[in-house]
Amino acid sequence: MPEGPEIKRAADQIAKAITHRPTTAVFFAFPHLKLYEAILQNRTVTAVQSRGKALLIRFDNQLSIYSHNQLYGKWMIRSAHDYPQTTRQLRLAIHNAKKSALLYSASDIDVLDDIAIAHHPFLCKLGPDLLDNTTTVEQVVERFTDPTFRRRGLAALLLNQQFLCGLGNYLRSEVLFVARVSPRLRPLDCALSQIRQLAEAAIAVTRQSYQSKGITNDLQLAAQLKQQGYPRREYRHFVFGRQGKPCYRCSTPIVKDILAGRRLYFCPHCQGNESIR
Protein backbone atom coordinates (compact mmCIF):
# COMPACT_ATOMS: atom_id res chain seq x y z
CA MET A 1 0.00 0.00 0.00
CA PRO A 2 1.35 3.47 -0.81
CA GLU A 3 2.27 5.37 2.34
CA GLY A 4 2.13 9.09 3.07
CA PRO A 5 5.26 10.07 1.12
CA GLU A 6 4.09 8.23 -2.01
CA ILE A 7 0.63 9.83 -1.85
CA LYS A 8 2.10 13.31 -1.34
CA ARG A 9 4.40 12.83 -4.34
CA ALA A 10 1.39 11.67 -6.36
CA ALA A 11 -0.47 14.80 -5.23
CA ASP A 12 2.44 16.93 -6.43
CA GLN A 13 2.38 15.27 -9.86
CA ILE A 14 -1.39 15.53 -10.17
CA ALA A 15 -1.31 19.18 -9.12
CA LYS A 16 1.33 19.98 -11.74
CA ALA A 17 -0.81 18.39 -14.44
CA ILE A 18 -4.30 19.65 -13.66
CA THR A 19 -4.40 22.63 -11.28
CA HIS A 20 -5.43 26.09 -12.49
CA ARG A 21 -6.78 24.65 -15.72
CA PRO A 22 -10.45 24.04 -16.59
CA THR A 23 -11.41 20.42 -17.03
CA THR A 24 -12.60 19.28 -20.44
CA ALA A 25 -14.09 16.03 -19.08
CA VAL A 26 -14.33 14.00 -15.88
CA PHE A 27 -15.04 10.27 -15.76
CA PHE A 28 -16.20 8.16 -12.81
CA ALA A 29 -16.48 4.39 -13.08
CA PHE A 30 -18.96 4.12 -10.21
CA PRO A 31 -22.64 4.67 -11.10
CA HIS A 32 -23.46 6.73 -7.99
CA LEU A 33 -20.83 9.31 -9.01
CA LYS A 34 -21.85 9.64 -12.66
CA LEU A 35 -23.97 12.73 -12.01
CA TYR A 36 -20.82 14.61 -10.99
CA GLU A 37 -19.23 14.20 -14.42
CA ALA A 38 -21.28 17.10 -15.81
CA ILE A 39 -21.03 19.11 -12.58
CA LEU A 40 -17.22 19.02 -12.61
CA GLN A 41 -16.77 19.51 -16.35
CA ASN A 42 -15.41 22.95 -17.27
CA ARG A 43 -14.53 23.61 -13.64
CA THR A 44 -11.02 24.53 -12.48
CA VAL A 45 -8.97 22.42 -10.09
CA THR A 46 -7.72 24.79 -7.39
CA ALA A 47 -5.59 22.45 -5.28
CA VAL A 48 -4.53 18.84 -4.77
CA GLN A 49 -3.92 17.93 -1.14
CA SER A 50 -2.72 14.76 0.55
CA ARG A 51 -4.14 13.79 3.93
CA GLY A 52 -1.96 10.92 5.09
CA LYS A 53 -2.81 8.13 2.65
CA ALA A 54 -5.87 9.95 1.27
CA LEU A 55 -6.07 12.62 -1.41
CA LEU A 56 -8.40 15.58 -2.04
CA ILE A 57 -8.71 17.24 -5.44
CA ARG A 58 -10.44 20.58 -4.91
CA PHE A 59 -12.52 22.41 -7.51
CA ASP A 60 -13.62 26.03 -7.81
CA ASN A 61 -17.26 25.14 -7.08
CA GLN A 62 -16.45 24.06 -3.49
CA LEU A 63 -16.59 20.35 -4.34
CA SER A 64 -13.68 17.95 -3.89
CA ILE A 65 -12.90 14.49 -5.17
CA TYR A 66 -11.77 12.27 -2.29
CA SER A 67 -9.74 9.13 -3.02
CA HIS A 68 -7.83 6.53 -1.06
CA ASN A 69 -5.56 4.20 -3.02
CA GLN A 70 -5.86 1.36 -0.49
CA LEU A 71 -3.78 -1.66 -1.58
CA TYR A 72 -3.95 -1.45 -5.33
CA GLY A 73 -4.80 2.08 -6.43
CA LYS A 74 -2.39 3.81 -8.79
CA TRP A 75 -2.37 7.30 -10.31
CA MET A 76 -0.96 7.89 -13.77
CA ILE A 77 -0.36 11.24 -15.46
CA ARG A 78 -0.58 11.16 -19.26
CA SER A 79 -1.04 13.46 -22.21
CA ALA A 80 -4.72 14.29 -22.64
CA HIS A 81 -6.80 11.15 -23.32
CA ASP A 82 -3.67 9.03 -23.83
CA TYR A 83 -4.55 5.84 -21.97
CA PRO A 84 -1.81 3.32 -21.11
CA GLN A 85 -1.90 -0.34 -22.01
CA THR A 86 -2.83 -1.96 -18.70
CA THR A 87 -5.03 -4.65 -17.24
CA ARG A 88 -6.00 -2.32 -14.41
CA GLN A 89 -9.53 -0.90 -14.29
CA LEU A 90 -9.91 2.84 -14.75
CA ARG A 91 -11.86 4.30 -11.79
CA LEU A 92 -11.45 8.05 -12.26
CA ALA A 93 -10.17 10.32 -15.00
CA ILE A 94 -9.75 14.10 -14.97
CA HIS A 95 -8.92 15.62 -18.34
CA ASN A 96 -7.92 19.08 -19.46
CA ALA A 97 -6.63 20.37 -22.79
CA LYS A 98 -3.11 19.08 -22.19
CA LYS A 99 -3.09 16.39 -19.49
CA SER A 100 -5.09 13.53 -18.00
CA ALA A 101 -4.89 12.37 -14.39
CA LEU A 102 -5.98 8.72 -14.28
CA LEU A 103 -6.70 6.66 -11.16
CA TYR A 104 -6.70 2.89 -11.63
CA SER A 105 -7.85 0.06 -9.35
CA ALA A 106 -8.91 2.20 -6.36
CA SER A 107 -12.38 1.58 -4.93
CA ASP A 108 -12.63 4.32 -2.29
CA ILE A 109 -13.66 7.43 -4.26
CA ASP A 110 -16.27 10.07 -3.49
CA VAL A 111 -17.27 13.67 -4.20
CA LEU A 112 -17.60 15.83 -1.07
CA ASP A 113 -18.32 19.40 -0.06
CA ASP A 114 -16.50 21.03 2.85
CA ILE A 115 -19.09 19.95 5.40
CA ALA A 116 -18.88 16.33 4.24
CA ILE A 117 -15.08 16.49 4.40
CA ALA A 118 -15.22 17.72 8.00
CA HIS A 119 -17.44 14.78 8.95
CA HIS A 120 -15.92 12.11 6.71
CA PRO A 121 -15.49 8.90 8.76
CA PHE A 122 -11.84 8.49 7.72
CA LEU A 123 -10.65 12.08 7.34
CA CYS A 124 -12.16 13.45 10.54
CA LYS A 125 -10.35 10.86 12.67
CA LEU A 126 -6.85 11.26 11.25
CA GLY A 127 -4.03 12.05 13.63
CA PRO A 128 -1.40 14.71 12.91
CA ASP A 129 0.01 14.46 9.39
CA LEU A 130 3.77 13.91 9.58
CA LEU A 131 4.21 15.57 6.17
CA ASP A 132 2.40 18.73 7.23
CA ASN A 133 5.06 21.35 7.94
CA THR A 134 3.02 22.63 10.88
CA THR A 135 3.31 19.27 12.69
CA THR A 136 6.01 19.56 15.37
CA VAL A 137 8.06 17.12 17.42
CA GLU A 138 6.27 18.35 20.54
CA GLN A 139 2.87 17.50 19.05
CA VAL A 140 4.06 14.00 18.19
CA VAL A 141 5.51 13.53 21.69
CA GLU A 142 2.05 14.42 23.03
CA ARG A 143 0.51 11.66 20.90
CA PHE A 144 2.88 9.06 22.32
CA THR A 145 2.10 10.15 25.88
CA ASP A 146 -1.66 10.54 25.36
CA PRO A 147 -3.62 8.10 27.60
CA THR A 148 -5.49 6.93 24.50
CA PHE A 149 -2.31 5.54 22.96
CA ARG A 150 0.42 5.09 25.59
CA ARG A 151 -0.57 1.52 26.54
CA ARG A 152 -0.69 0.22 22.97
CA GLY A 153 2.18 -1.71 21.42
CA LEU A 154 4.38 0.40 19.15
CA ALA A 155 4.21 -2.17 16.35
CA ALA A 156 0.44 -1.67 16.03
CA LEU A 157 0.34 1.98 17.05
CA LEU A 158 2.61 3.13 14.22
CA LEU A 159 0.14 1.70 11.70
CA ASN A 160 -2.84 3.47 13.29
CA GLN A 161 -3.83 6.47 11.16
CA GLN A 162 -5.78 7.96 14.07
CA PHE A 163 -2.49 8.12 15.98
CA LEU A 164 -0.26 9.62 13.28
CA CYS A 165 -1.31 9.68 9.65
CA GLY A 166 0.95 8.80 6.77
CA LEU A 167 2.93 6.00 8.39
CA GLY A 168 2.73 2.50 6.92
CA ASN A 169 4.63 -0.74 7.05
CA TYR A 170 8.04 0.23 5.66
CA LEU A 171 8.05 3.51 7.59
CA ARG A 172 7.11 1.68 10.81
CA SER A 173 10.25 -0.49 10.66
CA GLU A 174 12.48 2.42 9.67
CA VAL A 175 11.18 4.82 12.34
CA LEU A 176 11.73 2.26 15.09
CA PHE A 177 15.24 1.55 13.83
CA VAL A 178 16.26 5.20 13.54
CA ALA A 179 14.88 5.81 17.05
CA ARG A 180 16.75 2.69 18.31
CA VAL A 181 13.61 1.41 20.03
CA SER A 182 12.44 -2.19 20.27
CA PRO A 183 9.25 -2.91 18.31
CA ARG A 184 7.95 -4.93 21.26
CA LEU A 185 7.69 -1.95 23.62
CA ARG A 186 4.74 0.35 24.34
CA PRO A 187 5.07 4.11 24.83
CA LEU A 188 4.34 3.41 28.50
CA ASP A 189 7.50 1.27 28.64
CA CYS A 190 9.71 3.98 27.17
CA ALA A 191 11.72 6.69 28.87
CA LEU A 192 10.98 10.26 27.84
CA SER A 193 14.25 10.28 25.91
CA GLN A 194 13.02 7.31 23.85
CA ILE A 195 9.65 8.98 23.27
CA ARG A 196 11.40 12.04 21.90
CA GLN A 197 13.62 9.86 19.71
CA LEU A 198 10.49 8.19 18.32
CA ALA A 199 8.81 11.55 17.65
CA GLU A 200 11.88 12.97 15.95
CA ALA A 201 12.35 9.83 13.86
CA ALA A 202 8.68 9.70 12.83
CA ILE A 203 8.92 13.19 11.36
CA ALA A 204 12.45 12.97 9.96
CA VAL A 205 12.16 9.56 8.30
CA THR A 206 8.75 10.30 6.77
CA ARG A 207 9.85 13.66 5.37
CA GLN A 208 13.12 12.26 4.06
CA SER A 209 11.21 9.50 2.29
CA TYR A 210 9.02 12.12 0.62
CA GLN A 211 11.96 14.30 -0.41
CA SER A 212 14.20 11.43 -1.56
CA LYS A 213 11.56 9.37 -3.40
CA GLY A 214 11.42 6.61 -0.84
CA ILE A 215 14.95 6.37 0.57
CA THR A 216 14.94 6.06 4.36
CA ASN A 217 18.56 4.93 4.73
CA ASP A 218 21.35 7.39 5.48
CA LEU A 219 21.46 9.40 2.25
CA GLN A 220 25.25 9.52 2.04
CA LEU A 221 25.49 5.77 2.56
CA ALA A 222 22.73 5.15 0.02
CA ALA A 223 24.59 7.27 -2.54
CA GLN A 224 27.81 5.32 -1.93
CA LEU A 225 26.08 1.96 -2.27
CA LYS A 226 24.35 3.10 -5.45
CA GLN A 227 27.67 4.23 -6.91
CA GLN A 228 29.13 0.82 -6.06
CA GLY A 229 26.44 -0.84 -8.14
CA TYR A 230 24.08 -2.07 -5.44
CA PRO A 231 20.42 -2.34 -6.55
CA ARG A 232 17.89 0.09 -5.07
CA ARG A 233 16.36 -2.59 -2.84
CA GLU A 234 19.74 -2.92 -1.10
CA TYR A 235 20.36 0.75 -0.35
CA ARG A 236 16.82 2.14 0.01
CA HIS A 237 16.15 1.17 3.65
CA PHE A 238 18.07 0.63 6.87
CA VAL A 239 16.21 -2.56 7.81
CA PHE A 240 12.96 -3.02 5.88
CA GLY A 241 13.17 -5.97 3.49
CA ARG A 242 16.73 -6.83 4.62
CA GLN A 243 16.15 -10.03 6.61
CA GLY A 244 19.43 -11.84 7.35
CA LYS A 245 21.59 -9.07 5.94
CA PRO A 246 24.03 -7.12 8.12
CA CYS A 247 22.85 -4.01 9.91
CA TYR A 248 24.49 -0.93 8.41
CA ARG A 249 25.34 0.28 11.92
CA CYS A 250 26.59 -2.81 13.77
CA SER A 251 26.66 -5.70 11.23
CA THR A 252 24.21 -7.83 13.24
CA PRO A 253 21.85 -9.76 10.90
CA ILE A 254 18.49 -8.03 10.46
CA VAL A 255 15.52 -9.99 11.83
CA LYS A 256 12.07 -10.30 10.26
CA ASP A 257 9.02 -10.81 12.47
CA ILE A 258 5.24 -10.60 12.13
CA LEU A 259 3.88 -7.98 14.54
CA ALA A 260 0.36 -6.52 14.43
CA GLY A 261 -0.29 -8.81 11.48
CA ARG A 262 2.36 -7.25 9.23
CA ARG A 263 6.01 -8.02 8.54
CA LEU A 264 8.43 -5.92 10.54
CA TYR A 265 12.23 -5.77 10.33
CA PHE A 266 14.63 -4.73 13.09
CA CYS A 267 18.17 -5.05 14.36
CA PRO A 268 18.25 -7.09 17.60
CA HIS A 269 21.43 -5.31 18.71
CA CYS A 270 20.60 -1.68 17.89
CA GLN A 271 17.00 -2.12 19.03
CA GLY A 272 17.54 -4.66 21.77
CA ASN A 273 16.59 -2.22 24.53
CA GLU A 274 14.01 -3.09 27.11
CA SER A 275 12.26 -0.55 29.26
CA ILE A 276 14.73 1.95 30.72
CA ARG A 277 12.24 3.91 32.80
Name the residues annotated as catalytic.
Answer: 2-3, 53, 262
Report phi then psi at 79, rounded to 5.
-60, 155
Spatial distance between the Cα atoms of 119 and 91, rounded to a whole number of angstroms: 24
Residue of 159, 143, 152 lying closest to 195 (CA atoms): 143
Question: CA-to-CA distance for 11 and 5, rounded, in angstroms?
Answer: 10
